[in-house]
Chain A
Amino acid sequence: DSGVTQTPKHLITATGQRVTLRCSPRSGDLSVYWYQQSLDQGLQFLIQYYNGEERAKGNILERFSAQQFPDLHSELNLSSLELGDSALYFCASSVGGAGLYQETQYFGPGTRLLVL
Chain B
Amino acid sequence: AQTVTQSQPEMSVQEAETVTLSCTYDTSESDYYLFWYKQPPSRQMILVIRQEAYKQQNATENRFSVNFQKAAKSFSLKISDSQLGDAAMYFCAYTAYGGSQGNLIFGKGTKLSVKP
**A80 CB to nearest chain B CB (Å):** 25
Interface presence of B98 (CB below 8 A)? yes
Determine whether the beta carbon of B108 is less than 8 Å from that of A56. no
Determine whether the beta carbon of A48 is less than 8 Å from that of B98. no
Of all chain B residues, which has the CB nearest A57? B101
Interface presence of B44 (CB below 8 A)? yes
Select one of A55, A96, A109 contacting B101, CB under 8 A. Answer: A55
Interface presence of A12 (CB below 8 A)? no
Chain B residues contacting A2 (CB-CB under 8 Å) are 44, 46
B80-112 interface mask toward A, CB cutoff 8 Å, 1 = contact, 0 = none? 000000000001000111111111111011000
Q: Which residues of B contact A (CB under 8 A)?
A: 33, 35, 37, 42-47, 50, 91, 95-106, 108-109
Q: Which residues of A contact B (CB under 8 A)?
A: 2, 31, 33, 35, 42-43, 45, 48, 50, 55-56, 58, 88, 90, 92, 94, 96-107, 109-110, 112
Contacts A48-B103, A50-B102, A102-B96 aside, 4 further interface pairs with beta carbons under 8 A come to A43-B91, A55-B102, A56-B101, A92-B104
